[in-house]
Structure 1
């Protein structure tokens, strides 16, 4: 082994060790993310004493080493993101982050749903997002505060939960991830129930932020006290609930945010009455958002 090879091996081991430390500090990091950060730290330490133009001499071995540490074996298929280069000898599948998010957020297929469905039109439901959209539309029809009866709304809730469980059973998520999806779902439904009387409300879950737009002026104080903040983006007003803090997301273009994180939108049909949020619903909204934050922080996206 030459001196250059020994130096490269020592550097490689140091990066692996640094990546291990980073993952201990932040368990949410994937192995690939930790290794990339470790290489960045390694390069920054080496910059002292180097001349301009010499910093990227090891780019080729750097890329190879990342893939070795990530556990990718020859011949395996793996996903590469937009700015990553292809790996020789492997079946490379290019994928964007939005696609990864949708793969995680829309698990499963229906099984025996014809025996469950009564109120829902399952012929147009292909994933969890479409199920939630239809639930919101039906809730505006059958909720006691919107002209329906308690019995009708209870039937809607029961049918929805059966369909949701049917979707999750067909997914490749772990049991903890399935349980967490149910917590997220319950929290979102509590938010919907709290806003059920408001005309033309749009609710979008983009990544880990909840964006509420439309006719929010009558309930602006209630939304503010529940923890939402007001943002005006591209001339359109939004009330935003940050499930997790992000420095740049509030400044980015809306279409770029949706493309990057994926979006789940529920749009309320027009109703005849405009109401303020009752006191009991304010409490439901506040605690629903708190539970939503905890559950979203457990998501890997």
Structure 2
């Protein structure tokens, strides 16, 4: 995750102070709290990751360096996650501000593709990423390296949890 991507997750533009960063985080935490929002658990992982990244920079002000590509990534991500949660047996793994999809994805291939997800043939998983992402390293990362660098949390959709409880 870079500064622009983290600011897009928190829907911030321009130059941002520590106070504005904290206010934006609080606003997002209220909006995506798991008690208020069905996609809240997954969204809060991405929001927390972005906030911790920006907070860890220890800067008085943080500037969005690509304002023409600034947008509300959290809104896009929420739409994708809410649709994926409806897919029985599809697992979501959050790594930084990317989501990786595994499990029963074959049955939902066309739906997943229409959400703007991409297939990673070497990893045998689908992924959704920020639109402004540009890889500086064209080399292939394995999932363990991605998890180590960006952290990871696996979330099972409600349908797959219900299946596990019934089994």
Query: If the length of structure 2 is used for normalisation, what is the TM-score?
Result: 0.47
Larger Rg: 1
Query: If the length of structure 1 is used for normalisation, what is the TM-score?
Result: 0.30
Bigger helix fraction: 1
